[in-house]
């Protein structure tokens, strides 16, 4: 959510005439888009602001703005603690940034503007997309739930849904620009429609995305088990460009802890959704988020979490040790656990999940996957003569390429490979590329990066050209909440 908000802030500033500062130059404007979900967000912000102060002193006219959840939370406190900040803006008024920067410049004093709530979804804000071939599309902001560990509802407000027509218009415009993959985004994405009273709005949106010509892959994050209705599973299974991947936060496997977290589903319901998804899409990769050591969690509660992990066989899991977020109900609860207890449980959980992830990945050895070639996902790719891509189920695959293929394949193109090795966090395909499918997304990447567009229909090995990928097995993504 914050990454996409940053794209919107960049888009707004570019629309207002600003240009991205070149590397190694001192920018005239620095914007911090903060997140309050992770631990130590405030220490990091004030530390960064402190580091920037000498640069600001040395460059008269430089402006510093702070937005996002921490700005919404700390408000005027930010300019009290760091009086060299020029603008503080909240989560509900990111559209005001250019005006606030201008006002701060003219009036020569800090501007703090925090709206308490969002009236309507800000559908018309421009975006400066980081990727030429994959894009985030917001369907809603805010959340109507009140999970006791989460600061989001108090900082992002209640759910505001975007009109379906606006979502689809943005998806179509992105595809026209060459985007191959969209990820629908919402704090509680599958509650979409609750504001305008249509409980099936999310499944209808998935099906409508299936009709957008040229859109190869659709994903979404993050759904809430409470709202995971059968019509969503059916829409996923029946819409070919909706990928066989589900990131669904578990948080705890203990129904007692879920109740204390004010998560309205129980262990049985979670496992029954997993069972239905597996039945409808046997190849789907299911991933999750888990919090260890919530206040009052007993060894028995933790065993329940391990039980769900064994049953669900997640492809991957984002695991977190519970830590207090001031302002949340859980921070005030009794029964906070000693750090060493949480650490020991956490290590057991990670060990189990790593074993399962490795086993699930090894099951894929020998299978053929069509990958969307990605940019910057393999640190050692250069020395190992590999590229990286994402399988339909979002698993990361590093694959070997010869010189000719390396020359042709661009991020955004598709490559068909056979999996030769499964590690816990990625797959390897070292037996060569069987087919290449150049795409408009690859052309869009080439145009951005000053390369010639590829001629259509270039083939290597077995032909799979033309059709979107058939769903293939299994991995994850996600924001750590939801
Ligand atoms: S954890 Fe997710 S569902 Fe719960 S309140 Fe936070 S954003 Fe909403």
Domains of the chain: 2-113 (3.40.50.12160), 134-362 (3.80.30.20), 368-448 (2.40.50.140)
Put simply, whether the predicted model's pTM sits higher than 0.85 gets the answer no
305 lines ligand 1 (CB under 6 A): no
143 lines ligand 1 (CB under 6 A): yes
Please give the distance, rounded to the nearest whole angstrom, from the Cα atom of residue 143 to the centre of ligand 1. Answer: 6
37 lines ligand 1 (CB under 6 A): no
Please give the distance, rounded to the nearest whole angstrom, from the Cα atom of residue 363 to the centre of ligand 1. Answer: 33
Q: Is 147 annotated as a binding residue?
A: yes
Listed as own residue / partner, the contacts of 161-165 with beta carbons closer than 8 Å and 24 or more positions apart are 161/121, 161/192, 161/193, 161/194, 161/195, 161/196, 161/201, 162/121, 162/123, 162/138, 163/121, 163/123, 163/196, 164/201, 164/204, 164/205, 164/208
291 lines ligand 1 (CB under 6 A): no
Placement of tokens 């960049």 in the chain: 10
Please give the distance, rounded to the nearest whole angstrom, from the Cα atom of residue 151 to the centre of ligand 1. Answer: 8
**Atom nearest to 482 CA in ligand 1:** 2
Q: Is 35 annotated as a binding residue?
A: no
The Cα–Cα gap between 449 and 470 comes to 30
330 lines ligand 1 (CB under 6 A): no
188 lines ligand 1 (CB under 6 A): yes
Each of the 482 residues of the chain gets a pLDDT tens digit; together they read 888 889 999 999 998 899 999 988 889 999 999 988 777 788 889 999 999 999 999 998 999 999 988 898 888 889 999 999 999 998 888 888 999 999 999 888 999 988 877 666 666 667 778 789 999 999 998 899 999 999 888 888 889 999 999 999 999 999 999 999 999 999 899 999 999 999 999 999 999 999 999 999 999 999 999 989 999 999 999 999 999 999 999 999 999 999 999 999 999 999 999 999 999 999 999 999 999 999 999 999 999 999 999 999 999 999 999 998 888 999 999 999 999 999 999 999 999 999 999 999 999 999 999 999 998 887 777 777 899 999 999 999 999 999 999 989 999 999 999 999 999 999 999 999 999 999 999 999 999 887 765 554 333 333 333 332 333 322 233 334 54
Ligand 1 pocket test target in 36, 37, 152, 294 with most atoms within 8 Å of CB = 152
Ligand 1 pocket test target in 224, 250, 261 with most atoms within 8 Å of CB = 224
1 lines ligand 1 (CB under 6 A): no
Going by alpha carbons, the residue nearest to atom 6 of ligand 1 is 150
């Amino acid at each position: 959510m914050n990454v996409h908000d940053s794209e919107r802030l960049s888009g707004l500033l570019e629309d207002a005439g600003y240009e991205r500062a070149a590397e190694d130059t001192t920018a005239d404007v620095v914007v911090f888009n903060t997140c309050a979900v992770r631990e130590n967000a405030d220490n990091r912000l004030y530390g960064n602001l402190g580091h920037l102060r000498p640069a600001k002193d040395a460059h008269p006219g430089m402006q510093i703005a702070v937005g996002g959840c921490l700005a919404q939370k700390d408000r005027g406190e930010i300019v009290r603690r760091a009086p060299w900040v020029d603008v503080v803006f909240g989560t509900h008024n990111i559209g005001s940034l250019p005006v606030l920067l201008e006002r701060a410049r003219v009036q020569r004093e800090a501007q703090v503007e925090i709206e308490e709530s969002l009236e309507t979804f800000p559908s018309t804000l421009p975006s400066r997309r980081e990727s030429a071939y994959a894009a985030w599309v917001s369907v809603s902001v805010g959340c109507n739930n009140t999970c006791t560990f989460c600061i989001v509802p108090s900082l992002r407000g209640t759910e505001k849904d975007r009109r379906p027509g606006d979502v689809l218009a943005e998806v179509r415009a992105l595809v026209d620009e060459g985007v191959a993959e969209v990820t629908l985004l919402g704090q509680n994405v599958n509650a979409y429609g609750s504001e305008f009273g249509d409980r099936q709005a999310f499944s209808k949106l998935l099906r409508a995305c299936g009709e957008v010509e040229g859109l190869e892959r659709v994903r979404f994050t993050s759904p809430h088990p409470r709202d995971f209705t059968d019509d969503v599973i059916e829409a996923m299974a029946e819409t070919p460009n909706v990928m066989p991947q589900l990131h669904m936060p578990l948080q705890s496997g203990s129904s007692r802890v879920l109740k204390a977290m004010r998560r309205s589903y129980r262990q049985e319901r979670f496992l029954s959704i997993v069972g239905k998804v597996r039945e409808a899409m046997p190849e789907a990769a299911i991933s999750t988020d888990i919090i260890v050591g919530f206040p009052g969690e007993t060894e028995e509660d933790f065993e329940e979490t391990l039980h769900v992990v064994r049953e669900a066989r997640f492809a991957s899991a984002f695991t977190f040790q519970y830590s207090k977020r001031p302002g949340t109900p859980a921070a005030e609860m009794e029964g906070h656990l000693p750090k060493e207890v949480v650490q020991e449980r956490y290590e057991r959980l990670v060990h189990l999940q790593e074993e399962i992830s490795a086993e699930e990945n090894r099951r894929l050895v020998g299978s053929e996957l069509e990958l969307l070639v990605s940019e910057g996902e393999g640190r050692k790719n250069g020395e190992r003569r590999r590229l990286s891509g994402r399988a339909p189920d979002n698993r990361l695959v590093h694959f070997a390429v010869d010189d000719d293929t390396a020359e042709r394949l661009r991020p955004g193109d598709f490559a068909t490979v056979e999996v030769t090795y499964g590690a816990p966090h990625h797959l390897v395909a070292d037996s060569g590329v069987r087919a290449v499918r150049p795409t408009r997304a690859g052309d869009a990447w080439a145009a951005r990066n000053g390369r010639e567009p590829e001629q259509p229909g270039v083939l290597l090995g077995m032909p799979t050209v033309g059709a979107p990928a058939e769903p293939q097995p299994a991995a994850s993504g996600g924001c750590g909440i939801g």
